[in-house]
Structure 1
Amino acid sequence: MSAMTEVLKDLEKRRLRALVDVDADILNEMHASDFVLVHPSGGTWSKAQYIGGVVSGEIDYRKFEAVSDVEVMVDGNLAVLRYRSTIEIHVRGQEPGPLECWHTDCYRRVDTGSPWQVVWSQATECA
């Protein structure tokens, strides 16, 4: 396993923890300005909608953890991560509950010296 693979796995773990901890500084730093999430219901949220929802409490992650190995493909300044997670979430007044999803997250960096940021994220609910 390459050192870059480990860096990206740790970065994703840090991002998930920041979502649960509602760490706005880390979340803003880690999500690209053009970030888009395709959530399990099939809709999309921009960075402002997603991070804003987490910070306001409209999107309340109580647990968000990878439960499978995080697979990583890296090519230059683009990386794709794929894993399965377990989530406990409360969204916009809905009854909180557990959710299991597959995730595909695309990270990029401007050049080898710049930080990685997640630009696309897709969560698909497991049947």
Structure 2
Amino acid sequence: MAQTAAVPAGGVIAEQIREVERARLRALVAGDLSAASELHAPDFQLVTPVGHVLSKDAYLQAIATGDIDYVEWEPGPIDVRVHGNAAVIRYRATLEVIFNQRRVPRASYWHTDTYENADGQWQAVWSQATAIGQITQRPVP
């Protein structure tokens, strides 16, 4: 099977994807559902840090109702791998969120997102967040 090479992380396309991700985060924090909707593919799915899977509609509805209210979402450097019309990004971010009217303390998370380019527009397709916590047991070698 032929392998395709990733576009270098410093390329123009990679920087475009970084800016789309930053715009997506700004829209989510601001509760700008119109902008957020444009930046998420119709079949978008989020896997939350506690393992729940949300569709685009369920995710944006939760933001609209205030069930999810991002207080802060500050991304660090965003690593990007581009393969044709698909890209994978990964970064560490600091988040503070109110979830179901309960404040989740400010914490760090790893984010891995898959983007696809449809008709010249990059949109998030899959997103997964992983909480970064202290190791409570000895890691397995």
TM range (shorter): over 0.9
| 1:1-127 equivalent positions in 2, closer than 5 A | 1-67=10-76, 69-110=77-118, 113-127=119-133
Structure 1 counterpart SS, 2:49: coil
**What SS does structure 1 have at the residue aligned with 2:126?**
strand
What's the % identity of the aligned pairs?
40
Taking the aligned partners of 1:98 and 1:70, their CA distance within structure 2 comes to 20
Runs of at least 4 residues of structure 1 off by over 6 A?
none
Q: Matched residues in 1 for 2:19 and 2:75: separation?
A: 11
Question: How many residue pairs were aligned?
Answer: 124
TM (norm. structure 2) is 0.84
* Shift in Å, 1:95: 2.9
8 Å CA contact 1:89–1:99 kept in 2: the answer is no
1-structure distance, mates of 2:130, 2:39: 21
94-103 vs 11-20, which moves further:
94-103
Q: Deviations over 1:96-124 (max 9, x none)?
A: 421210000000023xx420110000000
> What do the CA deviations read for 1:57-114 (whole angstroms, capped 9, x no partner)?
11000100113x100000110000000000010001223421210000000023xx42
CA distance in 2 between partners of 1:103 and 1:80 (Å)? 10
Match of 1:55, as an amino acid?
A: A
Report the TM-score, using the length of structure 1 for normalisation: 0.93
Gapped regions of structure 1 (runs ≥ 5): none
Q: CA deviation at 1:55?
A: 1.5
CA distance in 2, matches of 1:74, 1:108: 10
